[in-house]
Amino acid sequence: MLDQTPEPTIVPAAADESSQLSQFASFARVTEGWYWALRSRDLKRGQIRPLSFLGREIVVFRDADGVVRAMDAYCPHMGAHLAEGRVDGQGVRCFFHHWKLGATGEVTDIPCQTKPAKASNKVWPVAEQYGVIWIWTGKEASRPVPYIPEIEGRKVDARLGNQFEKGCHPNIVMVNAIDEQHFHSVHPLASSLADGLHFQITSHSKNSQVFDNDRPVPRNNLFNRLLGKLYAGALTYRMVYWNGSTGSVTVGPDFLHFHIIFALRPTARGTTEGQTILVTEQRKGLLGKFLNAVILRVTEVVGNYFAKGDTQVFQTIRWNFQTPIRADRPIIEFMRHLEEQKSVPWGAWDGSDRDMAISKHPHGRLS
Ligand code: FES
Ligand SMILES: [Fe+2]
């Protein structure tokens, strides 16, 4: 049965000005939010690493107290890459002339003169969650790191899955998880659109959107009929999006839900770099620890299944959504939600540097 939603209208393409760009699948405008940067275990105390982050060159380091910090990569003296230098207290000392930049990015010490010059690098808010370092693409973080609403506020255990690269923008990869048509064309879940997934769409917060399946397991084969016995109501399939680039999927029978976070970020190459994170609620005691290790391993298998199947299409797709139909309703809603999000040319929150590599990239605007 088709829903009664009116025929969707597609978001109009905007003029090719960064201030007017359509936000969906745009490499030039970054939706403000947290984006995954590195695995925590890949950055030891006192270590500094270069990172090309959404097209901007930055350094990420773990200071003497174990706190992770991120700042622009090039020294404000002469442009040496700070990853050539070393961590010094809460800041970084440049390799070239040994200037020190403190935790706020200000130059705090110039060895050959008593008064430091007035110069600084931008620093970026950092958080660590699930064994992952996250960086906020604005001046001050105004939201928590993406979480699973179902277990909001509870302690969690996490396991890191694989890292991957896809040949298109993160928004397009995310669309896949709410593409009702493809659940029967690509995945063997249903035999037709009519008995496949159908999403209720709500806002969890101003910046996150929830897609919740409201249909039972289709009874199209023996496996699905047996599977259906594990659900009192609808088949659990819930997708929660955070700034259009990080999504969590919740699946599983009523007695055990699996949570998989797909953390994605755009690259200057016009691709997506992703990190899979498996999450479960913390369980007490030794048995709880053991149980969680098993649950997280099973979650990884489930996550790998999700990531498989559509892989090839993301390497070759040229997003051009010319002919939306009623079954594309969740995708249209997702695009609308993204258009409402705050976005800035990455790094330009104070208007000082609008010429980042990413906005000049040939794939600077894809839709
Ligand atoms: S270039 Fe960094 S101190 Fe001179
Ligand atoms: Fe898929």
Question: Which tens digits make up the pLDDT trace of 348-364?
Answer: 555 455 444 444 444 43
132-142 as b/e: b if 16+ CB within 10 A: bbbbbbbeebe
The pLDDT score that the predictor gives to residue 353 is 53
34 lines ligand 1 (CB under 6 A): no
Taking CA atoms only, the protein residue closest to ligand 1 atom 3 is 97
CB 19 within 8 A of CB 231: no
> When comparing pLDDT for 3 and 226, which is higher?
226
Kindly indicate the confidence band of residue 347, based on its pLDDT and cuts at 50, 70 and 90: low
124 and 154, same domain (yes or no): no
99 lines ligand 1 (CB under 6 A): yes
182 and 323, same domain (yes or no): yes
CATH number at residue 330: 3.90.380.10
Would the pLDDT of 11 be above 50? no
The pLDDT score that the predictor gives to residue 116 is 84
Pocket test for ligand 1, best of 82, 94, 121 (most atoms within 8 A of CB): 94
Helix (H, G, I), strand (E, B) or coil at 25: coil
pTM score above 0.85? yes
Would the pLDDT of 365 be above 60? no
Structural domain total, the chain: 2
Q: Which ligand is nearest to the CA of 177?
A: 2
115 and 186, same domain (yes or no): no
Would the pLDDT of 245 be above 90? yes
Q: Which ligand is nearest to the CA of 116?
A: 1
Q: Look up residue 110 and give its DSSP letter.
A: B
Beta partners for residue 263, in sequence order: 246, 275
The pLDDT score that the predictor gives to residue 349 is 52
- List the structure tokens of 53: 């982050």
**Structural domain for 107, as ranges:** 34-130
- The answer to whether residue 351 is domain-embedded is no
- The answer to whether residue 311 is domain-embedded is yes
Q: Over range 217-239, report the average pLDDT.
A: 88
Q: In percent, how much of the chain has pLDDT > 70?
A: 86
- The answer to whether residue 139 is domain-embedded is no
CB 321 within 8 A of CB 10: yes
Would the pLDDT of 7 be above 80? no
- The answer to whether residue 85 is domain-embedded is yes
Would the pLDDT of 202 be above 90? yes
- The answer to whether residue 22 is domain-embedded is no
CB 76 within 8 A of CB 119: yes
- CA of residue 78 to ligand 1 center, whole Å: 5
> When comparing pLDDT for 60 and 18, which is higher?
60
User: Residue 94 CA: which ligand 1 atom is closest?
Assistant: 2
CATH number at residue 62: 2.102.10.10
> When comparing pLDDT for 82 and 138, which is higher?
82
Would the pLDDT of 251 be above 80? yes
196 and 268, same domain (yes or no): yes
167 and 57, same domain (yes or no): no
The pLDDT score that the predictor gives to residue 277 is 97
75 lines ligand 1 (CB under 6 A): yes
The pLDDT score that the predictor gives to residue 334 is 95
DSSP H or E segment with residue 111: none
State the burial class of residue 272 (Cβ atoms within 10 Å of its Cβ: 0-12, 13-18, 19+): buried
Q: Among candidates 107, 106, 86, which has minimal Cα distance to 95?
A: 86
Handedness of CA 32, 343, 124, 173 (dihedral sign): positive
The pLDDT score that the predictor gives to residue 272 is 94
- CA of residue 293 to ligand 2 center, whole Å: 26
Taking CA atoms only, the protein residue closest to ligand 1 atom 1 is 78
- The answer to whether residue 11 is domain-embedded is no
Pairwise CA distance, residues 132 & 125, whole Å: 14
190 and 313, same domain (yes or no): yes
CB 274 within 8 A of CB 266: no
Q: What angle do CA 253, 256, 257 make, to 5 degrees?
A: 85
77 lines ligand 1 (CB under 6 A): yes
Q: Over range 256-272, report the average pLDDT.
A: 94
Q: Over range 244-266, report the average pLDDT.
A: 94
76 and 222, same domain (yes or no): no
- List the structure tokens of 327: 């079954």
Pairwise CA distance, residues 158 & 248, whole Å: 13
DSSP string, 165-176: EESS-HHHHHHG
- CA of residue 181 to ligand 2 center, whole Å: 10
The pLDDT score that the predictor gives to residue 6 is 42
- CA of residue 174 to ligand 2 center, whole Å: 10
- The answer to whether residue 294 is domain-embedded is yes
316 and 255, same domain (yes or no): yes
175 and 315, same domain (yes or no): yes
294 and 180, same domain (yes or no): yes
Chosen domain end from 130, 154, 174: 130
Taking CA atoms only, the protein residue closest to ligand 1 atom 4 is 97
Mean pLDDT of the chain: 86
At a CB cut-off of 8 Å and minimum separation 6, what does 58 contact? 50, 51, 70, 71, 72, 73, 124, 135
189 and 322, same domain (yes or no): yes
The pLDDT score that the predictor gives to residue 108 is 97
Pairwise CA distance, residues 92 & 8, whole Å: 52
96 lines ligand 1 (CB under 6 A): yes
Pocket test for ligand 1, best of 59, 78, 88, 100 (most atoms within 8 A of CB): 78
Question: Which tens digits make up the pLDDT trace of 149-163?
Answer: 999 999 999 999 999
Question: Which tens digits make up the pLDDT trace of 23-78?
Answer: 888 888 889 999 999 999 999 999 999 999 998 999 999 999 999 999 999 999 99
101 and 231, same domain (yes or no): no
Pairwise CA distance, residues 155 & 212, whole Å: 23
- The answer to whether residue 333 is domain-embedded is yes
262 lines ligand 1 (CB under 6 A): no
Pairwise CA distance, residues 296 & 265, whole Å: 23
Q: What is the dihedral of CA 37, 43, 47, 48, to 10 degrees?
A: -10
Question: Which tens digits make up the pLDDT trace of 128-182?
Answer: 999 999 999 988 999 999 999 999 999 999 999 999 999 999 999 999 999 998 8
Question: Which tens digits make up the pLDDT trace of 290-329?
Answer: 999 999 999 999 888 777 767 788 888 888 899 999 999 9
